[in-house]
Chains A and B, each alone.
Chain A
Amino acid sequence: MTAFAIRRLMQSAIVVLVMSVIVFFGVNIVGDPVDMLINPEADQEDIEIAIRALGLDKPIGEQYLFFLKNAFSGNLGKSFIFGEPALQLILQRMPATMELALAALFMAIVLGIPLGLYAGLRPHSPFSRITMATSILGFSLPTFWVGLMMIMVFAVMLGWLPSTGRGDEATFLGVTSSLFTMNGLSHMVMPALNLALLKISLVIRLTRAGTREAVLQDYIKFARAKGLRQSRIIFVHLLKNILIPVITVLGLEFGGLIAFSVVTETIFAWPGMGKLLIDSIQQLDRPVIVAYLIIIVLIFVVLNLIVDIMYSVLDPRVRLGDRKA
């Protein structure tokens, strides 16, 4: 398995490189950051000064090589907009996004798996049908629409929760997060739920689908015939088997939660990385976009690796390493 992990990480290096090329040239196609950044009163000479200050006067290939050279020494460039190192800007905002993503993932698992199990075991009960129907709502309405609705209902009309922003932080076991204060939690409920809705639906459906199949399989029948307790059958035999697709999808979705909580963060004015990304894309802040996506690709690679390793743990039939047809 170690060899497998090492090989995978080496492949990842290539992935990161390819990613940087695509993004670097891709952003260049979209537009010119100077048009976003320059004061409208500036004349042509000022515009050229700005282009030089940002290093955009050189051919794009040369710019890329320069970027690459710096990147090897850990310098991913300075943001055009903020004038600070891109990496630092992203890392500064990462905790806010991480806690939101974790809260959403937690909701998805805690709500999704039990509901999905129940719906799968008793597909015809009214509660299951209601659960399934409601879960469809989770992904049929666009996030921005649901988010604003939540703000309208819970913050404006009922006044139960704060409308936007991140709450107070506290430090616990060396980790500083707004998860540790009541104020922080109250700020987090709505954005986390908004982010989690789609994931909850997904988990419910995957769990239900898996359960429905699994209960028909021989090993469950056999376990039943053997007279095992219902709870043991469900939580040991059944759950272990249906978790694979759930874990695959959740693993990926967690990456998505971290990387692209763009809309939720914008609607709830959450000071996380997603908001930084969308602002950077809208203003063509290339160093930040490139650094961001490199980090994201790394996160995805690592998540995929973890997911693959967990397969082999959960399902002995899947062997990692030298698989060849």
Chain B
Amino acid sequence: MSVTEDKAALIVRKPAAAGVETPFMRFRSDFTDSWVATAALAVLCLIILIAVFAPLIAPQNPYDLGQVDIMESRQPPGSRSFQGYIFLLGSDGAGRDLFSAILYGLRISLSVGAMSGVIALAIGSTVGLAAAYLGGRTEAFIMRVVDIQLSFPAILIALMLLAVFGKGVDKIMIALVTVQWAYYARTVRSSALVERSKEYVEAANCLGLSHKRILFRHILPNCLAPLIVVGTVQTAHAIALEATLSFLGVGLPQTEPSLGLLISNGFEYMLSGRYWISFFPGIALLVTIVSINLVGDQLRDVLNPRLQR
């Protein structure tokens, strides 16, 4: 390993171009530093747009049972449907147009993944910070709740929710949040523990700043790096977990499949030679998650106060 290359990383940021630089402009120029991340952001935006406007793009409403016909199930890509449009990516086992189903599925998967990720992150990091900062009984209590949570299998939570409330997007989100917040709490606490004993926190304490301010303005930003790592991984994981729950039969309603459900349906077909039923949803999921993560990676590097380049 040559030292010179590492030194390159050590050099403080190149002086910006002449003129006044707003924080946003700096952020933008930092972000677009990497063309991979820029491309990923473009793809992600495109995916989000497609998901939002799915009903306008899709030839079929795959959630309307009146439009889905079992007689058209398992058609290979390129076949013509009864209604006249082409099954671009083929049709699935129930006769849904896979292209339409993927568009609609993206909508659900993205919103489930993002919503549950954000909620879990908010709850988890608040609780984790509180535990690290307050210490004592509060910390003991919170961390023991985390212990219980971490030892509780997602499928059992999902099964209990299903039995009591029935199936639905909101129930899956509750299940995902319940499973995931503990991960965030644990991560934030461990970083915050280290931060708490640093001089700048002591200094802030001496200055008489409020707890809230110290926590959220000083400690939290310094815990961001591992949090974003866990965050991007967990958001992707949330989507995959939703697929797994569907695979185990406790996921979303089967007539309104998410991307995860499409994949777990396709799973059955993997050995059967009807590759498209599992392949295309898999690719869609892959592209989505890869772009989320590439964007997340770059965001982390750019936003991290300790990585001032």
Find out whether A and B make contact in their complex, taking CB atoms under 8 A apart as touching: yes
The binding surface of chain A is classed by DSSP as helix
Q: Are A137 and B233 in contact (CB under 8 A)?
A: no
Q: Are B240 and A259 in contact (CB under 8 A)?
A: no
Shortest distance between the CB of B11 and any CB in chain A (Å): 10
Instruction: Say if the beta carbon of A97 comes within 8 Å of chain B.
Output: no
Q: Are B229 and A323 in contact (CB under 8 A)?
A: no
Knowing A216-B9, A230-B1, say if A244 contacts B190 (CB, 8 Å): yes
B-side contacts of A217, CB under 8 Å = 306
Q: State how many residues of chain A have any CB contact under 8 Å with chain B.
A: 80
Question: Chain B 250-268, CB within 8 Å of chain A: the 1/0 string?
Answer: 0000000000100110010
Q: State how many residues of chain B have any CB contact under 8 Å with chain A.
A: 71
Instruction: Say if the beta carbon of B244 comes within 8 Å of chain A.
Output: yes
A-side contacts of B150, CB under 8 Å = 252, 255-256, 300
Instruction: Say if the beta carbon of A145 comes within 8 Å of chain B.
Output: yes
Chain A-chain B contacts (Cβ-Cβ < 8 Å), number: 190
The one of A29, A121, A152, A319 in contact with B1, judged by C-beta atoms closer than 8 angstroms, is: A121
Q: Are B230 and A18 in contact (CB under 8 A)?
A: no
Knowing A152-B270, A245-B226, say if A29 contacts B286 (CB, 8 Å): no
- Which residue on chain A has the smallest CB distance to residue B232? A205
CA distance A244 to B225 in the complex (A): 13
Which residues of chain B in 31-88 are interfacial with respect to chain A, using CB atoms and an 8 Å cutoff? 36
Q: Are A140 and B153 in contact (CB under 8 A)?
A: no
Q: Are A132 and B194 in contact (CB under 8 A)?
A: no
CA distance A205 to B243 in the complex (A): 23
Instruction: Say if the beta carbon of B151 comes within 8 Å of chain A.
Output: yes
* B positions within 8 Å CB-CB of A: 1, 3, 5-6, 9-10, 36, 133-136, 139-140, 143-144, 147-148, 150-156, 159-160, 163-164, 183, 186-187, 190-191, 193-194, 197-198, 211, 225-226, 229-230, 233, 236-237, 240, 243-244, 247-248, 260, 263-264, 267, 270-271, 278, 282, 285-286, 289-290, 293-294, 297, 300-301, 304, 306-308
21 A-B pairs within 8 Å (CB atoms) are namely A11-B140, A30-B160, A133-B294, A136-B289, A140-B286, A142-B247, A144-B264, A206-B229, A234-B1, A245-B191, A248-B187, A248-B190, A256-B150, A263-B244, A263-B247, A281-B159, A297-B151, A299-B151, A318-B194, A324-B135, A325-B133
